[in-house]
Amino acid sequence: MALIEAASPHVMNTYGRVPIALSHGQGVRVWDVNGKRYLDGLGGIAVNTVGHNHPKLVPALQDQVAKLIHTSNYYHVPLQEQLAAKLVALSGMTNVFYCNSGLEANEAAIKLARKFGHDKGIERPQIVVFDNAFHGRSLATLSATANTKHQKGFGPLVEGFVRVPLNDIASLEQATANNPDIVAVFFEAIQGEGGVNPARIEYMRELRALCDRRDWLMMIDEVQCGMGRTGKWFAHQWAGIVPDVMPLAKGLGSGVPIGAVIAGPKAANIFQPGNHGTTFGGNPLAMRAGVETIRIMEEDGLLQNAERVGAHLKTAFEKAFAGNPGVKEVRGQGLMLGIELAKPCGVLVQRAADAGLLLSVTADSVVRMVPALILTQAEADEIVAILVPLIQAFLAE
Ligand SMILES: Cc1ncc(COP(=O)(O)O)c(C=O)c1O
């Protein structure tokens, strides 16, 4: 263990890491370098869609590595079109820009919104963002993010954001009334880092109508809640709406770095040659990872699995904690679940790991689970069997 604690003297100290080094995984299990086995309830923070060492993904990626890893966007990359055709069909939108991460996808969305405004003659475009939002750590996405702890030390922030509470259409209307510079509304269908807070179905519909009425772009950050995690391809689809701009990343490549911005007709032609770009974005390896991830999800029925096993897990937690005043709420949908406790509970991360379960605590007091979408009901029951007594003991302290 001493070896692990001192393992990274040359890596910048940006994470308070759990003193565990993982060596390999299989399905939803991972093993550390000392041979201890864990049930992976975190899935690399909602990234490992098909679990570890998937028998269909690994040979496909090996095949791609042997053919082409990278070429550059100076040339056509046929796999970009193959993945885009799929993403367009699944989302009901029309065009895709590729990048490498969630913040890059969001950065592109913010640039789209600004240029949408400039093209309409708005010199100082503003974007509506939300309390508890998390959109990334670049300067623009950090400015769109709500958490002042993350922002501290990095001012001046990027201007052009108006912040309002989530699920309160009256506040939004009030904050934007008589403001002709608003160009877009930007939100997560289910806030992840902010504590697993869903935007209500009715609220998303109201936002859609408002964006249409005022000619704003509706931009939904599905970086964490998208790609089948809630039981639909994209979490906003539970509201039956279609956004104008949708950033994706995390689960899209099953662990190969990838980001994408999907645009509908209102935003698809805003970027013209020279307006935006990236060296790595859309490279053949990442594109193959996206294509194969979606193929496996379809072949193996992972949306249905996420919905069914997620509902089972949520019900089990609700039952276990019913009447316990230490548990404020069990929230989320499918395999994106949060248990909000009445007190900060960061210590549970290490305790759960000691008990063989990987998870995270976000927003200080929310135990979060975003496992691979292959999780079985039996594995979900194992999570419950480990986690419920841990939380009960913690609340009794
Ligand atoms: C909703 C959301 N948007 C954006 C990001 C940033 O993604 P990345 O860490 O890949 O830059 C995250 C990461 O947690 C996220 O949850």
Query: Has residue 385 got a pLDDT over 50?
Result: yes
Ligand 1 within 6 A of CB of 221: yes
Our answer on whether the CB atom of 292 is closer than 6 Å to any ligand 1 atom is no
Query: What is the percent of the chain where pLDDT is above 70?
Result: 98
pLDDT tier for residue 6 given thresholds of 50, 70 and 90: low
103 lines ligand 1 (CB under 6 A): yes
Q: List, for residues 320-334, the tens digit of each pLDDT value.
A: 999 999 999 999 999
Q: Is any ligand 1 atom within 6 A of the Cβ of residue 257?
A: no
Written as one string, the DSSP assignment of 105-168 is HHHHHHHHHHHHHHHTT-SS-EEEEETT----SSHHHHHHS--HHHHTTSPSPP--EEEE-TT-
Indicate the top mutation candidate among 47, 107, 134 to test ligand 1's pocket, ranked by most ligand atoms within 8 A of CB.
134
- Residue 7's pLDDT band (boundaries 50, 70, 90)? low
Sign of CA dihedral 261, 134, 194, 52: positive
| Interval between CA 370 and ligand 1 midpoint (Å) | 13
CB 136 less than 6 A from any atom of ligand 1: yes
The percent of residues in the chain predicted with pLDDT above 90, rounded, is 97
pTM for this predicted structure: 0.97
CB of 107 within 6 A of ligand 1: the answer is: no
pLDDT in tens, 282-321: 999 999 999 999 999 999 999 999 999 999 999 999 999 9
The helix or strand, by DSSP H or E, that contains position 191, with its residue range, turns out to be strand 190-191
For ligand 1, the distance from its centroid to the CA atom of residue 133, given in whole angstroms, is 10
> Is 310 near ligand 1, meaning CB less than 6 Å away?
no
223 CA → ligand 1 middle, Å: 6
